[in-house]
A and B are shown apart, each in its own frame.
Chain A
Amino acid sequence: MKKELLVAALSRSRASFSKGWYKFSRNPLSVLGLIILFSVILTAIFAPYISPYPEHAGAFTNFRESGLPPSLTHFFGTDSVGRDIFSRVIFGYRFSLVLAVVVLSLAMPSGIILGLIAGYYRRRWIEIVIMRITDIFLAVPPLVLALAITVMLSPNLFNQMMAISLMWWPWYCRLVYSLTTSLRHEYFVREAELTGASKAHILLREILPNCVAPVLTKMTLDAGFVITVGASLSFIGLGVQPPRPGLGTMVADGAKRLPAEWWMAVFPALAIVIVILSFNLVGDGLRDMFAVEEV
């Protein structure tokens, strides 16, 4: 009997998955975004095996081959010290993606929990404290804040990640807060309260699952933005430090050689554009997937 129930439950979750995929895949661009994103992630993970010159990711020099334009041996050309830009872009993705993952996994949970608490205890001191702090963070331009923090500490990838995380949680706090303030008046929340369920149950089991869709969508879009911010900081030398290959650092180095040796800046820049674009397309697809259909 129990087994049958479990099988029924499983088949239902499979059905809802394929329905989700149906809605996601209505927009071919989202599927394209997903494909690009997956290949970027895979290349980043398997960078040492995929890139043609894995040793070029470090402090490698070969001045004989410096400044070569794109060719079959060097798809994206080589940089001023003769390193293969294609290989370095692949390794650069590693830093960008790690940055996105770390920042979001720090900023999102803290923002969500603070937002839940502030939204549920609306018009109490705890809401006022949390939301005013959030407002202060939101009032300062994020890039400037991250910049200041990174400079204050020492400029490296770890500090950059901490700085961006610190400026990113208020966005999730704000989003979840506004969702929670409306959800807490829903009758299912009332019912749980009247039954006598614990606050933890109400926040985590009743309200949070209803925030998942917008938060996931925002997360996907944000991953792109985080990468942009990270690249911008690297561009001004406050992120991945040479000789390690940060995408922003590479654009910065290449920019000095424009326009003659254009490939040094253009290809890393394109790499950034592609990953952000694919995150955005996937985000759009997720939004369509979670949208409630009307019939």
Chain B
Amino acid sequence: MSEEILTVENLKKYFVTKQGTVRAVDKVSFSVKQGETCGLVGESGSGKTTIAHTLVGIYEPTEGRALFKGQNISKVFNQRPKALKKEIRIVFQDPGSSLNPRRSIKQILELPLKVHRICNDSDRVERVMELLRMVELPPEDYMYKSPQVIGGGEKQMVAIARALAPNPSFLVLDEPTSALDVSVQAKIINLLMQLQQNLNLTYLFITHDLSLMRNITNRVVIMYLGKISEVAPTVEFFQNPFHPYTKMLLSSIPTVSDEEENFKPKEVISRGEIASPVNVPSGCSFHLRCPQKMEICSRADPTVVEVEADHLVRCHLFSDGRKPT
């Protein structure tokens, strides 16, 4: 785990709508290292999915850029070279809508193989079966089935197999388990972790579930209203959260044991709602909900500062680069 495989620099994505400009992503910078799992966390409306979609080429950034292995990838899909499409793949949140109900699983898995000319016609069926085995689905039972007749977890396994079909090196996982039960989620997460090791993959894992993040990521990026609030290595992040929003998120998590309960920061009680990205509050966008609001917060937007090694925060409490006493 060393060099940075993906770097996002001052990425901006605005959408112009009738109601006004939606600032979905506003000057976001972070990077993902080769072989790690980077977690991108935020509530709905935080812009995490917009980042995912920009990275795979559904949107073109309004400003800023993203570099993948040194190559500028701030282009939409139809301007991207095929080799790049092969390298960066995405798994969508809703497996029900990401698999065409009118195509068989075999046809679905064959498409990336055909497009990228991964193997010749005679080997293709073999490769499809291999992919299905990779995600622990018996090929004989699943190949000719329609996605309509299999369970949600199995659908997501097929979607993962499809993402892996052209041997990518980078996977964007956009809430791959949020629509699934925990026992199924556990299975899929296990599979993903195993595949990461075997195939030397790098993950950008997007989710709203902090407990899940805690267990699978190396680094966590927290977003609020299109901006980054905090970035830190996972263990450090959970033991020593800085940003008031992070603390609010952590203290809101429902827990299943007393140890977990004791682990949560106590002092922050959730209040208010995330503002509309069309009408972002002035200054720090979190100030209306923040329990530690200061006079400056409604006036000026804080900048990202590195408080400890690799631990970045965007909050006025830390504006001088030190922890408040």
**Binding partners A and B:** yes
Residues of A at under 8 Å CB distance from B?
2, 4-5, 8-9, 12, 186-188, 190-197, 201, 205-206, 209-210, 212
Residues of B at under 8 Å CB distance from A?
56-58, 77-78, 82, 85, 89-90, 92, 94, 97-104, 111-112, 115-116, 125, 140, 143-145, 162, 166
- Contact flag A194-B98 (CB < 8 Å), given A5-B140, A187-B92, A205-B103: no
Check A195–B97 contact: CB distance below 8 A: no
Check A192–B111 contact: CB distance below 8 A: yes
Check A12–B145 contact: CB distance below 8 A: yes
Check B57–A191 contact: CB distance below 8 A: no
Question: Closest CB of chain A to B271's CB: distance in Å?
Answer: 34
29 cross-chain CB contacts under 8 A: A2-B125, A5-B140, A5-B144, A8-B144, A9-B104, A12-B144, A186-B97, A187-B97, A187-B98, A188-B99, A188-B100, A190-B98, A191-B92, A193-B78, A194-B56, A194-B57, A194-B58, A195-B112, A195-B166, A196-B77, A196-B85, A196-B115, A201-B111, A205-B103, A206-B100, A206-B103, A209-B102, A210-B102, A212-B102
Q: How far is the CA of A194 from the CA of B89 in the complex (A)?
A: 8
A2 to chain B: which residues have CB within 8 Å? 125
- Contact flag A196-B143 (CB < 8 Å), given A187-B97, A205-B103, A209-B103: no
A193 to chain B: which residues have CB within 8 Å? 77-78
Question: Closest CB of chain A to B74's CB: distance in Å?
Answer: 15
B94 to chain A: which residues have CB within 8 Å? 187
A186 to chain B: which residues have CB within 8 Å? 97
Q: How far is the CA of A199 from the CA of B96 in the complex (A)?
A: 23
B115 to chain A: which residues have CB within 8 Å? 195-197
Question: Closest CB of chain A to B250's CB: distance in Å?
Answer: 31
**A191, A209, A210: residue with the most chain B Cβ atoms closer than 10 Å:** A191
B140 to chain A: which residues have CB within 8 Å? 4-5, 8
Q: How far is the CA of A206 from the CA of B82 in the complex (A)?
A: 20
- With A188-B98, A191-B90 given, name 12 new contacts (CB 8 A): A5-B140, A5-B144, A188-B97, A188-B100, A191-B92, A191-B98, A193-B77, A193-B78, A194-B58, A194-B90, A196-B82, A196-B85
B100 to chain A: which residues have CB within 8 Å? 188, 206, 209-210
Q: How far is the CA of A13 from the CA of B115 in the complex (A)?
A: 27
Check A210–B101 contact: CB distance below 8 A: yes
Q: How far is the CA of A9 from the CA of B94 in the complex (A)?
A: 26
Q: How far is the CA of A201 from the CA of B115 in the complex (A)?
A: 10
Check A9–B58 contact: CB distance below 8 A: no
B98 to chain A: which residues have CB within 8 Å? 187-188, 190-191
Check A194–B144 contact: CB distance below 8 A: no
Check B102–A194 contact: CB distance below 8 A: no
Question: Closest CB of chain A to B237's CB: distance in Å?
Answer: 30
Residue of A nearest to B98 (CB): A187
B162 to chain A: which residues have CB within 8 Å? 191
Check A194–B99 contact: CB distance below 8 A: no
Identify B143's interface contact among A5, A191, A197, CB under 8 A. Answer: A5
Q: How far is the CA of A209 from the CA of B58 in the complex (A)?
A: 23
Q: How far is the CA of A195 from the CA of B112 in the complex (A)?
A: 6
Residue of A nearest to B144 (CB): A9
Q: How far is the CA of A58 from the CA of B112 in the complex (A)?
A: 60
Closest 3 CB pairs of A and B: A209-B102, A187-B98, A9-B144
A5 to chain B: which residues have CB within 8 Å? 140, 143-144
Q: How far is the CA of A91 from the CA of B102 in the complex (A)?
A: 40
Identify B116's interface contact among A190, A196, A212, CB under 8 A. Answer: A196
Q: How far is the CA of A210 from the CA of B146 in the complex (A)?
A: 13
B77 to chain A: which residues have CB within 8 Å? 193-194, 196
A195 to chain B: which residues have CB within 8 Å? 85, 111-112, 115-116, 166
A4 to chain B: which residues have CB within 8 Å? 140
